[in-house]
Chain A
Amino acid sequence: DTGVSQNPRHKITKRGQNVTFRCDPISEHNRLYWYRQTLGQGPEFLTYFQNEAQLEKSRLLSDRFSAERPKGSFSTLEIQRTEQGDSAMYLCASSPFRDEQYFGPGTRLTVT
C-alpha cells in the first residue's frame, strides 16, 4: 500500500498520560497536514508542514500538542497530559505542492 499510513490505528490511554502518533506520507509529497475529527463533525485543521518546516498551527493546537517532521518525511503528533476532550480521530494527509490532499486511515484516540 503506497498511501498515507498512520500508527497506531487505535490508542486507549488514561487521562494525564502522554501519547504520540506517527504519520508516513506518500513518498515525495512535501506537504503534510494534521486534522482532528470528533463525532458528528468534519475534520478540523491542526497544523501543516512543508518539508520539515511547520508553517501553520491552528489555535486548536494547545500548548499540550506538538508536531514534528524532522527530516521532511514522516511526522509525529504528541499530546501531553491528555484530557478526555482530546478523544477524537486524528487524521494525517499529504499532498504534492498545492494539490489534492490524500488522507490516511486515522488514529482513534480514547482518553479514559
Chain B
Amino acid sequence: AQRVTQPEKLLSVFKGAPVELKCNYSYSGSPELFWYVQYSRQRLQLLLRHISRESIKGFTADLNKGETSFHLKKPFAQEEDSAMYYCALSGNSSASKIIFGSGTRLSIRP
C-alpha cells in the first residue's frame, strides 16, 4: 500500500533550537519525495523535493531508502517557520498524483 506517515501532529520547539519533522513512507518502487508547507492563511506550497537536494529556508531532508524515511531538519528554528508541514510522495507513473501524510504543525516558541 502507498502511504505516508507523519507520527507527530504537533511539534513545539524554542527559537534557535534544532527541528526534525519525521516522515516515513510505504511504496513499492522508487517514489519521489516532497515536503509541502502551509503558512497561516496561505496556500499549500512546495518546500523541497528529494531529487533537487537543495536547502530551502535552511531546511534539508535526506531520503533514506533503507529506513523508508524522509525526515525534515533545520539546525536553528526561526519564528517564521511556524506552519503546517506535509510530507508527500508521488510515484513514477505519468499521472504523478501526490499522496500526502496527515501533517505536522510546527510551533516555534520565542
Chain B residue nearest in CB terms to A105: B43
If the complex has contacts A42-B88, A100-B46, A104-B43, are A56 and B96 also in contact, measured as CB distance less than 8 A? no
Q: Report, nearest first, the 9 A-B pairs whose CB atoms are least far apart.
A: A42-B100, A103-B44, A45-B97, A98-B96, A105-B43, A42-B86, A43-B100, A56-B95, A103-B43
Interface string of B73-87 (1 = CB under 8 A from A): 000000000000010
* A23 and B99 alpha carbons, distance in the complex (Å): 20
A42-B95 in contact (CB<8A)? no
* A46 and B57 alpha carbons, distance in the complex (Å): 31
List the A side residues contacting B94 at CB < 8 Å.
98
Chain A residue nearest in CB terms to B92: A98
Give the size range of A's interface with the partner. Answer: 20 to 34
B98 contacts partner chain A, Cβ-Cβ < 8 Å: yes
Report B92-110 residues with CB < 8 Å from chain A CB.
94-103
List the A side residues contacting B4 at CB < 8 Å.
42
Report A29-45 residues with CB < 8 Å from chain B CB.
31, 33, 35, 40-45
Report B41-73 residues with CB < 8 Å from chain A CB.
43-46, 49
Not counting A31-B96, A41-B102, A106-B43, a sample of 15 additional A-B residue pairs whose C-beta atoms are within 8 angstroms of each other reads A3-B43, A41-B103, A42-B86, A42-B88, A42-B101, A42-B102, A45-B97, A45-B98, A56-B97, A91-B44, A98-B94, A100-B49, A101-B46, A103-B44, A105-B43
B97-A33 in contact (CB<8A)? yes
A21 contacts partner chain B, Cβ-Cβ < 8 Å: no
Residues of A within 8 A of B (CB): 3-4, 31, 33, 35, 40-45, 48, 55-56, 91, 95, 98, 100-106
CB distance from A6 to the nearest CB of B (A): 10
List the A side residues contacting B99 at CB < 8 Å.
45
CB distance from A79 to the nearest CB of B (A): 20
Task: From the candidates A4, A48, A103, name the one contacting B97 in the complex (CB within 8 A).
Answer: A48
If the complex has contacts A45-B97, A56-B97, A98-B96, are A103 and B45 also in contact, measured as CB distance less than 8 A? yes
